Structure 1
Amino acid sequence: MTNENEQTKLDTTTGVTLFGSWNVRSCYRVTKRELIVRQLKRYRIQVAALTETKIPDSGVCVVNGYTFIYSGTPSQQISKSAHGAAVCLGPEASAAWKNSGAQWEAVSSRIVTARIECRPVPITIIAVYAPINPSNGVKNDIDTCDEFYKTLQATIDKTYKSDMIMIMGDFNVRVGVEQANTVGGTVDNHAIDKQNQNGQRLVDFCLFNSFIITNTFFPHKAVPQGTWMHPKTKQ
């Protein structure tokens, strides 16, 4: 940490700063946000990407010392469709974000960004909630996914080149172990499924930008890796 005569910056070199992501399945009610804050405190997470927030419009709010930077569907266009992404900052990260200019952008109802001055390098956090995998032959679903990745790429192109870019959230993808043999360095051996269309889109996006899919680089139990099953196929 800095002394009191300097701006507060999030220092990732002197201790452990925990990052995480969570599909919260709506948090437009304040009581749900309070529950989220309690869990983030419990796990000592300072920076979290929240998805499927269903909070309309975009803005910033503070709940019990945690800053929610959110973006969702405009109020006049609200439907039952899932939407919304947010970056949630703990007290230390909130102070660092505010003292480094409080930079953020509501890119779309599925993408929101925040930039924090950190040591040793600044970080741009991009919280995303990607569309579900397209149904076979449904052009509208395919166009929605393609538009999402087009917008995400445009967001990447606008970031500071010196920043560390962390994209967190729910990509609604399946990336297979077989990709570790063909795109090693981007995908590693700790995937658990067969790649689907969205998985191919994500791999192509990461290859183009020299990113890695980090959760394939570390061993995890199957339960947290495969967090959703189709109600009919159970896959």
Structure 2
Amino acid sequence: MMLCNESRKEAAGLTPFLTPRKTIRLATWNIRTMYEAGRTAQVAKEMKHYNTCLLGLSETRWLQTGQLRLTTGETLFTKKSKIKLNIIQCYAPTNDTDDEKKDAFYQQLPAVLDKAGKKYMAILMGDFNAKIGADNTGYNEVMGTQGLGYINENGERFADLCSLNQLVIGGSIFPHKRIHKATWRSPDHVTENQIDHICISKKFRRAWKDVKVMRGTDISSDHHLLMTAVRLHLKKFKNTTNMRTRYNVSVLKTKEVRTAFHLSLSNRFQPLQDQIENNDTNIETQWKLEARKEKKVVLNTSRTRAAKAKAQEDYTATDKEVKKNIRKDKRDHINNLAKQAEEAAGQGNLR
């Protein structure tokens, strides 16, 4: 069942409601029967109240297939073969049912999942009559530890199905209070179990926001509405195009171009070569640096307090002279560069 404003043809086509920009709500509900006056209107009312985009119904007791458009704007689908949605609504046999019927169900369901394809997101939901429990030993890739009670036979079949088809059981992932996990209650309101489930493809697990029971719904059913919030996450595409500049080296075959290129390189790297050949510090400064190094050795090897004081005084005086010479060399170097720039500007060489 869907809330939509499309025409019948649009509703039967691919539904574009799953987008990365908004979170949608999907739900499953065992309503026991649709053969009751006003039942469809009650379902539609609860959908609007909880802002549900798509609701899967179990045990409708309808034998027909097709779709029904309600006056309130909702569309009921009772067969999904014409809808290109990877959403599968199920009703599984109870735990006391004969093994033959259980085997037939769990043999048919994988074929339906394979038909839906594994490239896109698949959501499997419905009343599976399966208790999965809180112990996920052996199923840690498809189950969490937030389930209720202990796993039963149907639960093992259901967990094996999810493990083989890479489906994650949502009710076992998100931590909630017990009242927001139990999907079924006994007629005497004493026993509660978690037997309705919503599963999603393992590769799209990050799209899940929450899976929670909504106890406020009322349709005279012993099952609660189980709802999930889904938002599609797309991986950002990074442009890995190589933006390296390509040069036309074929023009270097021409002698004139090759000579001009060599001359240009020589002019560009000549200042660097001059700087390497002519060190920034002159000979006097280098001599003072060596003298300061010797003073440091004398300071470190002095034994007496008086000798250390004398060595420290000599080292401090030498250090001052070194720093003074370095500042002078720096000024001279800057003045030299400025003079070269002025001479180059006077000759019209602005490079």
TM-score (norm 2): 0.47
Asked if the contact 2:141/2:163 (under 8 Å) is kept, the reply is no
Asked if 1:12 is matched to 2:2, the reply is no
Give, in whole Å, the separation in 1 of the partners of 2:171 and 2:183.
Answer: 13
User: For residues 135-171 of structure 1, what are the alpha-carbon distances to aligned partners after superposition, in whole Å with 9 as ceiling and x for unaligned?
Assistant: 6xxxxx1111111111111111211332211001111
Q: After superposition, where does 1:1-235 map in structure 2 within 5 Å? A: 9-29=16-36, 31-63=38-70, 64-71=72-79, 104-105=80-81, 114-116=83-85, 124-134=86-96, 141-178=98-135, 180-229=136-185, 234=191
Asked if the contact 1:134/1:197 (under 8 Å) is kept, the reply is no
- Report the residue type matching 1:12 in the other structure: T
Q: Quick check: 210-219 or 155-164, which moved more?
A: 155-164
Cα offset, 1:48, TM superposition: 1.1
Larger strand share, 1 or 2? 1
Give, in whole Å, the separation in 1 of the partners of 2:118 and 2:64.
Answer: 29
Distance change (3 Å), C-alpha of 1:9 and 1:227: closer
- Report the residue type matching 2:153 in the other structure: Q
Give, in whole Å, the separation in 1 of the partners of 2:133 and 2:15.
Answer: 42
- Report the residue type matching 1:202 in the other structure: F
Q: How many aligned residue pairs are there?
A: 177
Instruction: State the percentage of identical aligned residues.
Output: 29
Secondary structure of residue in 2 paired with 1:212:
strand
- Report the residue type matching 2:141 in the other structure: G
User: For residues 40-90 of structure 1, what are the alpha-carbon distances to aligned partners after superposition, in whole Å with 9 as ceiling and x for unaligned?
Assistant: 01100001111111112222111221111115xxxxxxxxxxxxxxxxxxx
Cα offset, 1:221, TM superposition: 2.4
Cα offset, 1:13, TM superposition: 1.1
Q: Quick check: 11-20 or 27-36, which moved more?
A: 27-36
- Report the residue type matching 2:73 in the other structure: G
User: For residues 189-234 of structure 1, what are the alpha-carbon distances to aligned partners after superposition, in whole Å with 9 as ceiling and x for unaligned?
Assistant: 1011111110000011011111111110001222242233556994
Secondary structure of residue in 2 paired with 1:22:
strand
Runs of 4+ more than 2 Å apart: 113-116, 223-235
Asked if the contact 2:24/2:52 (under 8 Å) is kept, the reply is yes
User: For residues 107-142 of structure 1, what are the alpha-carbon distances to aligned partners after superposition, in whole Å with 9 as ceiling and x for unaligned?
Assistant: xxxxxx8424xxxxxxx110001111136xxxxx11
Asked if the contact 1:19/1:46 (under 8 Å) is kept, the reply is yes
Give, in whole Å, the separation in 2 of the partners of 1:210 and 1:155.
Answer: 14
- Report the residue type matching 1:70 in the other structure: T
- Report the residue type matching 1:26 in the other structure: T
- Report the residue type matching 2:35 in the other structure: Y
Secondary structure of residue in 1 paired with 2:154:
helix
Larger helix share, 1 or 2? 2
Distance change (3 Å), C-alpha of 1:38 and 1:177: same
Cα offset, 1:8, TM superposition: 7.3
Secondary structure of residue in 1 paired with 2:95:
coil
- Stretches of structure 1 that go unaligned for 5 or more consecutive residues are 1-6, 72-103, 106-112, 117-123, 136-140
- Report the residue type matching 2:121 in the other structure: M
Give, in whole Å, the separation in 1 of the partners of 2:92 and 2:106.
Answer: 8
- Stretches of structure 2 that go unaligned for 5 or more consecutive residues are 1-13, 193-351
